Homo-oligomer: A and B are copies of this chain.
Amino acid sequence: MSTTPVRVSAAVLIIGNEILSGRTQDTNLAYLATKLNEYGIQIHEARVVPDVEDAIVEAVNALRHRYDYVFTTGGIGPTHDDITADCVAKAFGVPLVVNEEIAAMLRKRPSPPEVMESRMRMARIPEGGDLVRNPLGPPGFYIGNVYVMAGIPQVMQAMIGALDGQLRRGETIRSRSVTAHLSEGQIARPLGDIQNRYPHIDLGSYPFYRKDVYGTTLVMRGSVEADLDAMLDDVRQMIVALGGTPLNEERG
User: A44 to chain B: which residues have CB within 8 Å?
Assistant: 20, 50, 55
Partner of A30, one of B17, B22, B191, B202: B22
Enumerate A103-156 residues with CB–CB distance to B below 8 Å: 111, 114-119, 121, 136, 152, 154
Q: Is the interface of A mostly helix, strand, loop or mixed?
A: mixed
Q: Tell whether A205 pairs with B31 under 8 Å between CB atoms, given A23-B219, A45-B20, A115-B185.
A: no
Please determine whether A207 and B45 come into contact, CB atoms closer than 8 angstroms: no
Minimal Cβ-Cβ distance residue in B for A190: B114
Give the copy number. Answer: 2
- Is A221 in contact with chain B by the CB < 8 A criterion? yes
- Is A229 in contact with chain B by the CB < 8 A criterion? no
Interface size bucket, A side?
35 or more
User: A115 to chain B: which residues have CB within 8 Å?
Assistant: 183, 185-186, 188-189
Alpha-carbon gap, A185 to B121, bound state (A): 9
User: A175 to chain B: which residues have CB within 8 Å?
Assistant: 21, 23
User: A118 to chain B: which residues have CB within 8 Å?
Assistant: 184-185, 188-189
Please determine whether A21 and B173 come into contact, CB atoms closer than 8 angstroms: yes
Q: Tell whether A191 pairs with B221 under 8 Å between CB atoms, given A44-B50, A45-B47.
A: no
The listed residue with most B CB atoms (<10 A of its CB), out of A19, A23, A32, is A23
Instruction: Please list the residues of chain A having a beta carbon within 8 angstroms of any beta carbon in chain B.
Output: 16-27, 29-34, 37, 42-51, 55, 77-82, 111, 114-119, 121, 136, 152, 154, 173, 175, 183-189, 191-192, 195, 202-209, 219, 221
